[in-house]
């Protein structure tokens, strides 16, 4: 009889925990071959978990200033997060392959795909902390930035340990990407402020229209 190749959820949860808590050790022993089915399934699971959490926050109105649209946006988040996980997986693998090449690391597509799939463990974490946007948009943005910076931290070890990239060059690239994340967050603050002002104006306009 042929050996079973079914997805092992016990291994999945163990690897997810190790990726989050001890990324250097995990990536140093991570398999870089064996087919793309495993990383695709892993990305799908992370996407589903993140989507379900985002949906629940939307239903509960804890995903930000969404008002009565919370449940609807939460439902859309469920679909788009799952689809987004696959898009991020494959596009991210191409981008990581380019970075790995620059940093003198592996240019094997599957190896890069597996590193990205493992790093997507931050998706459910990010979704779980999404309720902070309902507390304060600034606080939520800072939390999101911290999660994204941690994702870069995971990718650093993925590059240096699994893909054997040059640590010094990789560190420089990660610093550049971290700076870009901060810049994007600052631009996001301005956009969020405009959105909040619009929602406030809309909520004030409704009572006036009803009384007229």
Give a yes or no: residue 2 inside a domain. no
- Indicate the number of domains in the chain: 1
The pLDDT-based confidence of 186 (bands split at 50, 70, 90) is: confident
Selection from 85, 5, 87 nearest residue 42 by Cα: 85
Write out pLDDT tens, residues 15-36. Answer: 999 999 999 999 999 999 989 9
Give a yes or no: residue 76 inside a domain. yes
Write out pLDDT tens, residues 103-147. Answer: 999 999 999 999 999 999 999 999 888 888 777 777 888 888 899
74 or 138, which is more confident?
Answer: 138
Mean pLDDT score across all residues of the chain: 84
Residue 199 has pLDDT above 80, yes or no: no
Q: How far apart are the C-alpha atoms of 94 and 78, rounded to whole Å?
A: 25
The pLDDT-based confidence of 70 (bands split at 50, 70, 90) is: very low
Domain that holds residue 180: 9-207
Give a yes or no: residue 21 inside a domain. yes
SS (H, E, C) the chain: CCCCCCCCHHHHHHHHHHHHHCHHHHHHHCCCCCCCHHHHHHHHHHHHHHHHHHHHHHHHCCCCCCHHHHHHHHHHHHHHHHHHHHHHHHHHHHHHHHHHHHCCCCCCHHHHHHHHHHHCCHHHHHHHHHHHHHHCHHHHHHHHHHHHHHHHHHHHHHHHHHCCCCHHHHHHHHHHHHHHHHHHHHHHHHHHHHHHHHHHHHHHHHHHHHHC
Give a yes or no: residue 1 inside a domain. no
Whole-model pTM: value is 0.80
Give a yes or no: residue 212 inside a domain. no
Selection from 80, 89, 149 nearest residue 120 by Cα: 89
Give a yes or no: residue 141 inside a domain. yes
Give a yes or no: residue 24 inside a domain. yes
């Amino acid at each position: 009889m042929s050996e079973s190749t079914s997805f092992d959820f016990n291994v999945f949860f163990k690897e997810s925990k190790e990726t989050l808590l001890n990324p250097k050790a995990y990536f140093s022993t991570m398999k870089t071959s064996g087919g793309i089915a495993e990383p695709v399934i892993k990305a799908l699971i992370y996407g589903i978990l993140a989507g379900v959490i985002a949906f629940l926050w939307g239903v509960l109105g804890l995903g930000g200033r969404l008002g009565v649209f919370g449940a609807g946006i939460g439902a859309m988040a469920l679909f788009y997060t799952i689809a987004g996980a696959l898009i991020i997986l494959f596009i991210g693998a191409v981008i990581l392959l380019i970075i790995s090449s620059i940093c003198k690391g592996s240019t094997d597509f599957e190896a890069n795909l597996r590193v990205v799939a493992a790093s997507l463990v931050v998706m459910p974490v990010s979704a779980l902390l999404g309720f902070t946007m309902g507390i304060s948009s600034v606080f939520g943005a800072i939390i999101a930035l911290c999660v994204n910076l941690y994702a870069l931290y995971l990718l650093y070890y993925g590059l240096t340990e699994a893909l054997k990239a040059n640590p010094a060059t990789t560190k420089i690239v990660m610093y550049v990407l971290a700076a870009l994340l901060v810049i994007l967050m600052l631009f996001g603050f301005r956009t969020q402020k405009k959105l909040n002002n619009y929602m406030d104006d809309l909520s004030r306009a409704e009572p006036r229209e009803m009384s007229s």
